[in-house]
């Protein structure tokens, strides 16, 4: 079966990569390309993003564009995602959300929509990163005592939220594995005289610069040794490929809120 795929935010960096990935996948066909109102791409062939005709024109009307779609993939911004979320619920289209930066109320809104349509919502769609999440849980259980836990992430200069959704996901995975509450034990920055490190905290460090696609390191620092689990993305294609895998997996699923570890059977 050819998956009729809709892509949101086609003028963005991930949007362009998703368009190319769909075009290269024999199991998918682009049925809708959506962008924000006022985008210069609206009305143009979506293939302009990679220099080839697609036969699909970019639109800023998601509810209309989603007619006949079997999945929408969204890597945009929280405020845009909510509009796409509402459109998917109205039309009954499964949704893959790779957008990050949601607050608790936003996450609750997504969970509410998942009672009506199936949604894969994950801070990172990379297969490798989601394997890292699983390894993080195992490492945390073994290295809970006597090891300080730090999460270091680096992204390009244009990323607007920090820490990254992936870094926070790693923190949640580690905290959950050792029965800690991330909200109360996370340390997101250090400056000045901070005093000795509390061994029960989970630290985060953020780097922003250049064109870094996404680097994440989970560090367990003990006395006499360090254990580091690292994932480095060299291309956004890895996120696009994972998102397509999630969109295919959603077909025939009951309404519900899923993540990439459901897709990869890592739970």
CA distances from 21 to 18, 67, 118, 140 (A): 5, 22, 22, 35
Contact partners, residue 76, CB within 8 Å, separation at least 6:
8, 9, 12, 15, 84, 99
pLDDT, tens only, 86-113: 999 999 999 999 998 899 999 999 999 9
- For this structure, is 232 an active site residue? no
3-state SS, residue 80? helix
User: CA 233, CA 87: separation in Å to the nearest integer?
Assistant: 31
Least confident of 107-111, 114-118, 161-165, 198-202: 161-165
For the chain, what is the mean pLDDT? Answer: 95
Which of 156, 159, 248, 267 is catalytic? The answer is 159
Question: What's the pLDDT score for residue 62?
Answer: 95
Contact partners, residue 38, CB within 8 Å, separation at least 6:
60
- Report residue 208 as tokens: 């922003």
Residue 114 has pLDDT above 70, yes or no: yes
Hey, what domains does the chain have and what are their CATH numbers?
3-125+236-263 (3.40.50.720), 127-233 (3.30.360.10)
Q: Among the residues of the chain, which ranges form H helices? A: 13-24, 62-65, 78-91, 104-113, 127-142, 165-177, 182-185, 237-249, 260-263
Question: What's the pLDDT score for residue 49?
Answer: 67
3-state SS, residue 224? coil
Element of type H or E holding 121: strand 118-121
Label residue 50 by pLDDT band (50, 70, 90).
low
Which of 155, 216, 231, 248 is catalytic? The answer is 155
- For this structure, is 159 an active site residue? yes
Cβ atoms of residues 94 and 253 within 8 Å: yes
Burial of 196 (0-12, 13-18, 19+ CB in 10 A): exposed
Of 69, 78, 68, 70, which Cα lies nearest the Cα of 98? 78
CA distances from 92 to 1, 54, 85, 190, 257 (A): 19, 25, 10, 46, 15
Residue 192 has pLDDT above 80, yes or no: yes
3-state SS, residue 122? coil
pLDDT, tens only, 218-237: 999 999 999 999 999 999 99
């Amino acid at each position: 079966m050819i998956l009729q795929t809709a892509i949101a935010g086609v003028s963005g960096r991930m949007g362009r990569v998703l368009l190319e990935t769909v075009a290269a996948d024999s199991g998918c066909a682009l049925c809708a390309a959506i962008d924000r109102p006022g985008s210069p791409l609206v009305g143009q062939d979506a293939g302009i993003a990679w220099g080839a005709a697609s036969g699909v024109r970019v639109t800023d009307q998601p509810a209309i564009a989603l007619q006949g779609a079997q999945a929408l993939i969204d890597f945009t911004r929280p405020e845009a995602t909510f509009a796409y979320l509402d459109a998917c619920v109205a039309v009954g289209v499964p949704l893959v959300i790779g957008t990050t930066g949601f607050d608790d109320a936003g996450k609750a809104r997504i969970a509410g929509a998942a009672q009506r349509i199936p949604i894969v919502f994950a801070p990172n769609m990379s297969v490798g990163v989601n394997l890292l999440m699983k390894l993080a849980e195992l490492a945390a259980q073994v290295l809970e005592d006597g090891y300080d836990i730090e999460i270091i992430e680096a992204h390009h200069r244009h990323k607007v939220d920090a820490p990254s959704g992936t870094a926070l996901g790693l923190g949640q995975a580690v905290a959950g594995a050792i029965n800690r509450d991330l909200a109360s034990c996370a340390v997101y920055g250090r400056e000045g005289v901070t005093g000795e490190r509390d061994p029960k905290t989970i630290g985060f460090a953020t780097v922003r610069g250049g064109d870094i696609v996404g680097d994440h390191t989970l560090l367990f620092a003990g006395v006499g040794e360090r254990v580091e689990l690292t994932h480095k993305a060299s291309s956004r294609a890895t996120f696009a490929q994972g998102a397509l895998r999630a969109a295919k997996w959603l077909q025939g699923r009951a309404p519900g809120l899923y993540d990439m570890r459901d897709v990869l059977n890592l739970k």
